[in-house]
Amino acid sequence: MFPSPIEKSSVGLRLAYKVLLPVALFLWLLPLLAIFMTSIRPASDIATGNVFGIPSSFQLLQNYGEVFAKTDALQYLLNTLMIAVPTTIISVALACLTGYALAIYKFKWALPLFFLFVAGNFVPFQILMLPVVDMSNRLEIINTVPGLVMFHAAFQTGFCTLFMRNFIKALPFELIESARLEGVDEFKIFWHLVLPLVKPAVAALCVLIFTFIWNDFFWASVLIRDDSNLPITVGVRTLNGEFVQQWHLVSAASLLAAVPPVLMFFAMQKHFIAGLTLGATKG
């Protein structure tokens, strides 16, 4: 283990580490803590300059309630859910198929096509923006939630394929080989043999893609103009414009937007991290 384990060092150092740890964390999360404190204080506090002290009264429920009552935050959150869940399902499902094809079959297009998925996954969004807008226009799905889901699902298929292919490649190939020799149909091998084995990868991808899509701002702002279809990220930005000088509400709305991915992360931490390392480092 590197650096040397702290329990083997002197008492002073050990104590210093134990003190330093919470202090460092406090500084690291200071912006977040500060905005949380703002979100639970009354508006009058900010006006009188009490931005960082003890709030004159704790208004957690009032402020967050006001966000829901005064704005379309609930609608925005629902829209985000309607975008993120189908996208996750479609792209992970498609990637199981493509990843399987690219990992198991040895045909000469396997590597070039795999690289195509990888390369497409890394391009800047702006190079796709105008043709995608144009196409959505002509397919008459611009400004709709399904239209946004279609794009997200297609784009995320690239990342999911990268991950899934590498995961399946690491499975023992002899299993598939022997099933083939027994005369099992290719689709049955996929369904009954490989799919149960890739469950961890599916879990990792689901958590990750859900978070990516939940946090997407660019594509939603390009493909959706209708207020009633906006996801929470764009919604919060709009609120920021409407609620000038009402920082307690803006901060409450921002934190609301962050809650679901944070919960997701804490619930599925192991899978989340496995996904982020692109499968490069196992563990």
Partner 1 sequence: MTSNTTVLTDRFATATGRAIAAGVVLVLCVAALMFVSTDLVQELFGYSQNIKAREPTFFIRISLLIGAIAAAFFLITSLSYYKRNKVAIAPWMFLSIGLVFFMIYVIVPIFQSISYSFTRWNGLYDINGIWTGEWVGLHNYKLLLNDPNFYTSLWNNLLWLLLFMLAVPIGLFIALFLNQTVRGIRIYKSLFFFPFVISQVVVGLIFTWAYNPEFGLLSEIWSWFFCETKTNIMGNLTRVCSPEPPSILGDETMATYGIIAAGLWPQIAYCMILYLTGLNNISSDQIEAGRLDGAKGWKMLRHVVLPQLKPATFIAIVVTVIGALRSFDMIATMTQGGPYGSSNVLAYYMYDQAVGEGVGRYGYGSAIATVLFLIMLVYISYFLWRMYQDEMEAR
Contacts with partner 1 in 31-50 (CB under 8 A)?
A: 31-32, 34-35, 38, 46, 49
182 lies in the binding site for partner 1 (CB under 8 A): no
Q: Which is nearer to partner 1, 75 or 144 (CB)?
A: 144
Q: Which of residues 82-101 bind partner 1 (CB under 8 A)?
A: 94-95, 97-98, 100-101
163 lies in the binding site for partner 1 (CB under 8 A): no
**x/- letters, 254..273, toward partner 1 (CB under 8 A):** xx-xx--xx-xxx--x---x
Q: Which is nearer to partner 1, 66 or 212 (CB)?
A: 212
Q: Minimum Å distance from CB 60 to partner 1?
A: 18
Q: Minimum Å distance from CB 55 to partner 1?
A: 14
Piece of the chain touching partner 1 by CB under 8 A; list 25-33, 55-63, 69-77, 196-204: 25-33
Q: Minimum Å distance from CB 130 to partner 1?
A: 5
195 lies in the binding site for partner 1 (CB under 8 A): no
214 lies in the binding site for partner 1 (CB under 8 A): yes
SS (H, E, C) the chain: CCCCCHHHCCHHHHHHHHHHHHHHHHHHCHHHHHHHHHHCCCHHHHHCCCCCCCCCCCCHHHHHHHHHHHCCHHHHHHHHHHHHHHHHHHHHHHHHHHHHHHHHCCCCCHHHHHHHHHHHHHCCCHHHHHHHHHHHHHCCCCCCHHHHHHHHHHHHHHHHHHHHHHHHHCCCHHHHHHHHHCCCCHHHHHHHHHHHHCHHHHHHHHHHHHHHHHCCCHHHHHHCCCHHHCCHHHHHHHHHHHCCCCHHHHHHHHHHHHHHHHHHHHHCHHHHHHHHCCCCCCC
Candidates 131, 174, 182, 199; binder of partner 1 (CB under 8 A) is: 131
